[in-house]
Amino acid sequence: MALLEVENLTIAYKTRRETAIAADRVNFSLERGRSVGIVGESGCGKTTLGMALLRLLPSNGFVKKGRVTFDGMDLLSLPDTRMQRVRWKRIAMIFQAAMNAWNPVQRIGDQILEAIRTHDPKITKAEAVKQVEQLYELVEIPADRIFDFPHQYSGGMKQRAIIAMALACSPDLIIADEPTTALDVIVQDQILQKIKAIQKEKNIALIFISHDIGVVAGVCHEIMVMYRGKIVEAGRREEVFEVPVHPYTRALLSSYLTIDGVFEIRDKQSPAPPCTPAEPLSKELCGYVHLCPHASEACRSRPPQWREITPTHKVLCSLCR
């Protein structure tokens, strides 16, 4: 059995006017030591998905249906106190906005120590500090900076410190939500290499959420493309890159410029226009139909079906035969 199994996960937000579906019937599973990338434009529901796994949705968000099984535990029905023990100890998270992920009035070291000592109350402070020092070595921050305040760190250091904290309790799964978006390209690359190396070394499962398909391609074994709350294409990295099937995936790929030219894009087309949140998410029909250059009458009348291209490569599109 896989480490993490997500079945039919549907997440919704209550707003003043309506209940909006943010993630619609998401299915995937993840083995120990493997990594999956979730790609999509902002607002497509990818962060929501990550938050739902840790049960950290905003107060108006809720899981409508579906199951999340992690190491045999049904995460969605776990009592709160047991869920608190799963968080960070088993599933850690690297946040989208590392700039603001640190409490500005507490020392960084204290915040990492807090994570360690919450999950291991027996550890002495000296031992815990020692662990932090090792982690800092791993992410290459000088140990004398441990007890600085967040405003004394640079952006890249904050991000690396977050990674150090994510590793502090040696979790089985790390959810990295746009961990490098706010950084410049050089630092971004360093951090990505770091994440990749650590993931491999410690045999951690990784869910990597990003809007940048190039970044995901560099880190993950598998890729899932998400559009308006639905996974529209999922497969191994090479498959999705070499034979992108869904028109949206192709649009995404063509808007991403490869530097090393490893992947050749076959179907050049104009970059994908952003989805308009004002339009209601049609429940059953393909969400991309209004922008899709290949949309046929069938797309407008029938909901799309999952097709298997290969046993590991699937796509949700009516055009594909």
Partner 1 sequence: MHFRKLIFRRIIEVMAIFFLILTGLFLLFHLSPGDPVSRMVQPGMSAEDASMLISQLGLDQPLWLQYLYYVKNFFTGNFGISFHYGQPVIHIIGRRLPNTILLFTTSVILSAAAGVFWGKLVAWYKGRPIDTWVTILALVCHTLFLPWIALLFIWIFAYHVGWFPLNGMITPEVWINPSAGFLTKAADIGHHMLLPLLTLFIIHVGSYLLIMRSSMLETLKEDYILTARAKGLSEKRVRNRHAAPNAYLPVVTSIGLSLAFSINGGALTETVFSWPGIGRELIFAVSNNDYPLALACFLFISLVVLVANVIVDVLYAYLDPRIRY
Partner 2 sequence: MNFSAETRAACNTAAAKRSYNLQRFLDGWALFYENPVGKLGVFLLACFGVMALISYIPPLIDPMYHPMTGVDPWISNATGPSAKHWLGTDNLGRDLFTQLLTGARIAFMVGISAAFMSIVFGTLIGMIAGYAGRVTDAALMRFADMIMVMPSLLVVLLLASLFGQLNIWIIVLLIALFRWPGVSRVIRSQTLSLKQRPFIDMARVAGASHMRIIFRHILPNVLPMACLYMTFRVTSAIIVEAALAFLGFGDPNTVSWGMMLQWVWKTGHMFQAPYWLLPPGICISLITLSFYLIGRAMEEVLDPRLRKEENFE
- Compute the distance between CA of residue 298 and CA of residue 225 in angstroms, rounded to an integer: 22
Q: How far is CA 15 from the centre of its chain?
A: 24
Shortest separation between residue 141's beta carbon and partner 1, angstroms? 18
Shortest separation between residue 161's beta carbon and partner 1, angstroms? 11
As beta bridge partners, residue 73 has 70
Helix (H) or strand (E) holding 162: helix 155-167
Residues 31-50 that bind partner 2 (CB under 8 A): 42-43, 45-48
- Compute the distance between CA of residue 173 and CA of residue 210 in angstroms, rounded to an integer: 17
> 16 or 321: whose CB is closer to partner 2?
16
87 binds, among partner 1, partner 2, none (CB under 5 to 8 A by kind): partner 1
Handedness of CA 99, 100, 102, 103 (dihedral sign): positive
149 binds, among partner 2, partner 1, none (CB under 5 to 8 A by kind): partner 1
Shortest separation between residue 52's beta carbon and partner 1, angstroms? 13
Handedness of CA 124, 127, 130, 134 (dihedral sign): negative
Shortest separation between residue 108's beta carbon and partner 1, angstroms? 11
Residues binding partner 1 (CB under 8 A): 54, 56, 80-81, 84-89, 92-93, 95-97, 100-106, 111, 114-115, 118-119, 149, 151-152, 165
222, two tokens: 């598998």
Residues 58-97 that bind partner 2 (CB under 8 A): 58-61
Query: For the CA atoms of the chain, what is the radius of gyration?
Result: 20
Residues that bind partner 2 (CB under 8 A): 13-16, 20, 22, 42-43, 45-48, 58-61, 277
